[in-house]
Amino acid sequence: MATSPSLSRQEDLALREAASGRPRTQLIANDLKLSEPERALYERLARRRFADEPLSYLLGHKEFYGRRFWVSPSCLIPRPETEGLVEAALNWATGQAHRFATEAPLRLLDLGTGSGCLAVTLTLELQARRIAVRSCATDLSEKTLQLARNNAAWLGAAVQLFHGSWTLALPDTERAGGFDLIVSNPPYVGIEDPEFLSGELSWEPAAALVGSRPSQDGMNDLRELSMQALACLAAGGLFAVEHGSRQQQQVVSCFQDAGFSHITPMNDLAGRPRYVLGRL
Ligand code: GLN
């Protein structure tokens, strides 16, 4: 069976599944054969893939922490590294579980939620650990927020979504009392980062990569966020962010300047410095 030399076996199978609506097990059992209309669609998708369009945009979905999230070019594609931020937040929350109950749930906030992957995953994973949670998320793009809304509904997570910049999107009623857990995977790519605007990244929204105030070091949003998050944390609360692998020292400094305590730099699974946690 001829597969295009530029597609990996996994990508080839994924596009065949998308073009035929049949699972790969069935396709393999049938010698990967496609009908004429299916083949035409497969070829159109393959051509787009050859032009570096991310596979997840072609398929319209991406797995994150074992769940399927619908994605579109209006949101950043969830990355496996971001699952490390989920793990760090869950570790902290399970240690604090005694503080929360149905009438006093853990208050979760995800800033710049994109597809909703952090807010939805944390909401569901906290519930699975019997930790009562009340979740909010914000995003600057109304279109992206609609996608997060769809993902929350499809995965059965109750997340209140607010349109606007970081914590400024929140109504006063939501800010009151503060949040116990604030997470964010903000834009942190610098405009001179060699990866930016090359290959697949150029298909993703620049607003999610370099932010609305692009800079050389990609630190603008991380700096702003650290200050805004501190102002919205409840006593004993945790703020956890993802950042680029060369930014950890700067992020730690931002956390120090903002006034966080217990500042904890962390590595991703590949051993690269990618997250910082801070407490009030
Ligand atoms: N992790 C992404 C990348 O470098 C960037 C995501 C972000 O800026 N939040 O491809």
**Chain center to CA of 145:** 13
Q: How many CB atoms lie within 10 A of CB 107?
A: 21
CA of 229 relative to ligand 1 center, distance in Å: 20
- pLDDT of the residue at 243: 97
- The answer to whether the CB of 188 is under 6 A from ligand 1 is yes
- The answer to whether the CB of 275 is under 6 A from ligand 1 is no
Q: What's the rounded Cα separation, in Å, for the pair 65 and 117?
A: 9
CA proximity to 112, closest of 18, 254, 225, 14: 225
- The answer to whether the CB of 189 is under 6 A from ligand 1 is yes
Atom of ligand 1 nearest to the CA of 201: 10
- pLDDT of the residue at 5: 55
**Chain center to CA of 100:** 25
Q: What's the rounded Cα separation, in Å, for the pair 200 and 33?
A: 29
Sorted by sequence, the CB contacts under 8 Å of residue 9 that are 6+ apart come out as: 3
- pLDDT of the residue at 70: 98
Q: Is the dihedral of CA 276, 195, 49, 186 positive or negative?
A: positive
Residue 50, H or E segment: helix 36-50
176: three-class secondary structure by DSSP: coil
DSSP 81: G
Q: How many CB atoms lie within 10 A of CB 21?
A: 8
Bridge partners (DSSP) of residue 70 are: 61
Task: Provide the residue count of the chain.
Answer: 280
- pLDDT of the residue at 2: 53
239: three-class secondary structure by DSSP: strand
CA of 186 relative to ligand 1 center, distance in Å: 8
| Residue-by-residue pLDDT tens, the chain, 280 positions | 555 557 999 999 999 999 999 999 999 999 999 999 999 999 999 999 999 999 999 999 999 999 999 999 999 999 999 999 999 999 999 999 999 999 999 999 999 999 999 999 999 999 999 999 999 999 999 999 999 999 999 999 999 999 999 999 999 999 988 999 999 999 999 988 877 767 888 899 999 999 989 999 999 999 999 999 999 999 999 999 999 999 999 999 999 999 999 999 999 999 999 999 999 9
Q: Is the dihedral of CA 223, 184, 97, 235 positive or negative?
A: positive
- pLDDT of the residue at 200: 87
- Please tell me the number of Cα atoms within 13 Å of 159 on its side-chain side: 38
In terms of phi and psi (left: phi > 0; alpha: psi -120 to 50; beta: otherwise), the region of 31 is left
Structural domains of the chain ordered from first start? 9-51 (no CATH), 74-279 (3.40.50.150)
- pLDDT of the residue at 141: 96
Atom of ligand 1 nearest to the CA of 193: 4
- The answer to whether the CB of 111 is under 6 A from ligand 1 is no
- pLDDT of the residue at 259: 96
- pLDDT of the residue at 193: 80
